[in-house]
Structure 1
């Protein structure tokens, strides 16, 4: 389609986005007609063992997270011509896209979006992983109003100190200071995103990195700008010291549910999920299902991990749709912020489809033979 290396066994439909670190495409698995998202590492970065290692680590991480609230891995492929992550497709749009068109969300709708993506984050925290880049671009809102967390490109192990990394508007004070990565930093970023949903602006608006750093480290938490019922969540989540915040995403979800139930009643989640679905329905052209060229009706593919490599679609009869337009800009890798460390990279002498495992040192395990395609 574009003269560059592509994963064997798939036909590209269209490019969803590209950048200096690579590209994301909508593709169809030739054997089943299932649509997938394929994230390719750029040729320039393939020459750097540290970036290849980070790319592999992202695949291992996705493969180890078994939750409907994180975009799932189908397979990871390396070849002499390239490296790619084949992922689940979500027919949805980014929270950023919704905010651009609505300006802000009411508190109940914002709570629904926060909860879904926090549940994905909680699974990562249980696996000992810190996302480090929670922001509106990395939250997908599906057509039914549910949400998923995406882009683990700069995720790190809990307690590691790989350097300052993240998106400045959402970085916790300790991230600015280069302190060890912690789930509490992700809670801070999620709260900053929640604040933006509620108010239409970021918590702090410094014009440069230095101003933002000072504001995040020293400025008062702007809780009074949020609706009164949810101010405790803003106050706790944006606390300057990590020990003053909920310790991880699971604890934050518990606090969120308590606040929401007290303020909005037992039906708050169902009621506002319907509203989110209605908002998303106003933006049909942003949904890849409007233009996806996948043929036939297939089930959403499921991944077989931890033994034999590969995946096989089921027989449920759901139309596999395309990934949100946001993946063109979101999943394209904040690699300029990666504090990667060199690691061993095996010779790319043959195609290797990898069974992902939780993040860890060294190469992935469970490689298949040359030219292996999904089953």
Structure 2
């Protein structure tokens, strides 16, 4: 199933180096992608932290620190870490890409496994964990999903040390339900985990491989957790009758609820596993459990078709081809005839076995080859490399790319690393280089049409500003930034300046009647709104007291101006200021809402108010003028 749809990272060059080809898996902490290192031309896995987690600086620091520690853990059964870094909101690890499947895939399709196949998986897992334990690491999340089985038969453990800061045992999702099935009791009860927690998880994985089911089940995570705390893991032989006691003992030892009763670390458990394996006969190792399901293959491609090299289909090693009963020497023929017949049967059986083995190998692997990594190479180089792998170039397409140089391979179908039938054909997409477009001349074009014109060229409208223009019609484009003819890459933003038309000078309308003021504005091309609420003003009642745009302001055609109507002046009591100093009297009158005029008589040497035009204590219109008189000496 294609899981790459709608993923913003697919097709992107991360950190200027890693070309993301496809999404492989999604987890609670990160998403894993198949990618190509364009510098070294190799396929790898990119584990990209979810952006919402990347905002936590402490989390990112731990992620990076533990990644560096795991990178120093060089072991053939540990998924290697090559690089780590960040590109904007994307924090990533570059890791070894293991083409194949997970142990979960095998269990889902096979059910229970023969003991030999279970040991073939368990031992390299314990070897990897043992190396980690001796180096001071604890995995904390061992489960079949983290056991990778490569097409070449190698078993590797993934996600070392990177699950420490994540996980939620109280979530009710199926993913968490699967995770809690492998938690040790002390992890559940106390939240602690050391090397023995990994040992417990391996014991549960071994039980699942032998029986095809988890030891504790439940409808909710809480039920599973309760059983881990209060119930011992049952013996595998209770589900698969006839399993040797050595396997029951190994599972019981690894899954003891008391951590002190378990092997100290994976190295100790590996030693016990090898002892148990050595104690079993060939028949016991290859016994097919009733829970095993026949492997299903589908025509051209089966994602687990490589597993027979790792987990062979059970074969009864003690079976013999039936020989015909010996009737005794025939007349005239001696014992040599019987020996020849027996020899013929043996040779036929060997040839038949070889033929069947070759046929099975061809069906599963022999007829397939992997598409080599050719991204970034020239067409000639890519064609030669594909030919060396036994593949032909079918069709060649071309597309624009901001990442790959003109003439180099920017995409392959099937993608690098995918399997294809031998002598199959591969489609190459060659880069035309970055697509460059020119900014069109949009002057005089209406705004909506200008937006469509930009989209047609592969550009996007940017910031839109408005300005008056006497030469460009209102609503049309005056100019752009960048200017017309400028070369830009696709999806670049182009800022537009749009005309408001010729400016209209707003006249002074205060004191005019509302009908006259309305007619004046409408004749100028403006719209008029009369405010519902009236205000007191010096203007006569019913005339314009205020306007939303002041006299001399510039408006565009169609703009709206609000007129406020006067209720007439408000009558205010006039303060008595006779006998006050000039400044004091002015302050009193202005505070009451009056304008003040001062009259002085010669010789202008006095500073005391001797009279006022409106007698103190009487009412006068607010805003009207009051004259105060200052007589000379």
Deviations 1:118-163, CA, capped at 9 Å, x for gaps: 1111111112111111011110112233311112364459xxxx99
SS at match of 1:148: strand
Match of residue 257, structure 2, among 240, 253, 258: 240
Distance in 2, matches of 1:260 and 1:249, equals 16
Q: TM-score, normalised by structure 2?
A: 0.42
- Which residue does the alignment assign to 1:178? 190
Q: 1:83: Cα distance to partner?
A: 1.3
Task: Give the direction of change, closer, same or farther, for the CA distance of 1:65–1:204 in structure 2 (3 Å limit).
Answer: same
Change (3 A) 1:8 1:109: same
SS in 1 for 2:219: coil
> What pairs with 1:150-165 in structure 2 (closer than 5 Å)?
150-152=158-160, 154-156=162-164
State whether residues 138 and 161 of structure 2, in contact with CA within 8 Å, keep that contact through their aligned partners in structure 1: no
CA shift, 1:275, in A, is 4.8
User: Which residue of structure 1 lines up, in the alignment, with residue 147 of structure 2?
Assistant: 139
Map of 1:42 onto structure 2: 50
Q: Does 1:129 align with 2:137?
A: yes
> Structure 1 CA distance, aligned partners of 2:186 and 2:132?
19
Q: In structure 2, what is the Cα distance between the partners aligned to 1:54 and 1:322?
A: 34
For 1:129, what is the secondary structure of its paired residue?
Answer: coil
Kept in 2: contact 1:130–1:182 (CA 8 A): yes
Give yes or no for the alignment of 1:294 onto 2:373.
yes
Is the Cα contact below 8 Å between 1:163 and 1:178 reproduced in 2? no
CA RMSD of aligned residues (A): 3.3
Conservation of the 8 A alpha-carbon contact between 1:89 and 1:321: no
Which stretch has the larger CA shift, 28-37 or 185-194?
A: 28-37
Q: 1:257 corresponds to which residue?
A: 274
**In 2, Cα distance between the equivalents of 1:71 and 1:64?**
12
* CA distance 1:321–1:67, change in 2 (3 Å): farther
Report deviation, 1:208.
Answer: 2.0
Q: Is the 8 A contact 1:142 1:277 kept in 2?
A: no
Q: 1:145 to 1:168 in 2, by over 3 A?
A: same
Residue 336 of structure 1 corresponds to none
Question: Match of 1:194?
Answer: 206
Deviations 1:318-357 (A, max 9, x none): xx9479xxxxxxxxxxxxxxxxxxxxxxxxxxxxxxxxxx
What is the aligned partner in structure 2 of residue 85 from structure 1? 93
How far apart, CA to CA, are the structure 1 residues paired with 2:27 and 2:233? 35
Q: Per-residue displacement from partner, 1:89-127 (whole Å, max 9, x unpaired)?
A: 112210000111111111110011011111111111112
Alpha-carbon distance, 1:72 to partner: 0.1
**Residue 310 of structure 2: aligned partner:** 276
- The 1:253–1:178 alpha-carbon spacing in structure 2 relative to 1, beyond 3 Å, is same
- Distance 1:42-1:120 versus aligned 2 partners, 3 A rule: same
Counterpart of 2:14 in structure 1 is 6
* In 2: Cα distance, 1:257 partner to 1:54 partner: 36
Q: How many residue pairs are counted as aligned between the two chains?
A: 290
Which secondary structure state, in structure 1, belongs to the residue aligned with residue 193 of structure 2?
A: coil
1:109–1:276 CA contact under 8 A, matched in 2:
yes
**Shift in alpha-carbon separation, 1:23–1:283, aligned structure 2, 3 A:** farther
2:79 maps to: 71
Structure 2 runs not aligned, ≥5 long: 1-8, 171-175, 287-306, 314-359, 375-384, 389-415, 420-633
Residues 132, 154 of structure 1: 8 Å contact kept:
no
Task: Classify 1:292/1:18 alpha carbon distance in 2 versus 1 (closer, same or farther; 3 Å).
Answer: farther
Q: Distance in 2 between matches of 1:275 and 1:18?
A: 28
Q: Determine if contact 1:156/1:181 at 8 Å carries over to the other structure.
A: no
Is 1:204 aligned with 2:216? yes
Shift of 1:284: 6.7
Q: Tell me, what secondary structure is at the counterpart of 2:14? A: coil
TM-score computed with the length of structure 1 as normaliser:
0.68
Which has the larger displacement, 10-19 or 127-136? 10-19
- 1:215 Cα deviation after fit: 1.1
Find the aligned partners of 2:269 and 2:309 in 1 and give their Cα distance.
23
Structure 1 residues 116 and 235, CA gap change in structure 2 (3 angstroms):
same
For 1:43 and 1:283, the matched residues in 2 are separated by 43
1:104 aligned onto 2:104: no
Higher strand share: 2
* Whole-angstrom CA distance in 2 between matches of 1:214 and 1:20: 23
Counterparts in 2 of 1:139 and 1:42: CA distance versus 1, 3 Å:
same
Q: Are the aligned partners of 1:90 and 1:322 in contact in 2 as well (CA < 8 Å)?
A: no
Match of 1:86, SS?
A: strand
Structure 2 residue 65 is the aligned partner of structure 1 residue 57? yes
Give the whole-Å Cα distance in 2 for the aligned partners of 1:232 and 1:84: 42
Q: List alignment gaps of at least 5 residues for structure 1.
A: 299-319, 324-375
The structure that is helix-richer by fraction is 1
- What is the aligned counterpart of 1:94 among 70, 93, 102? 102
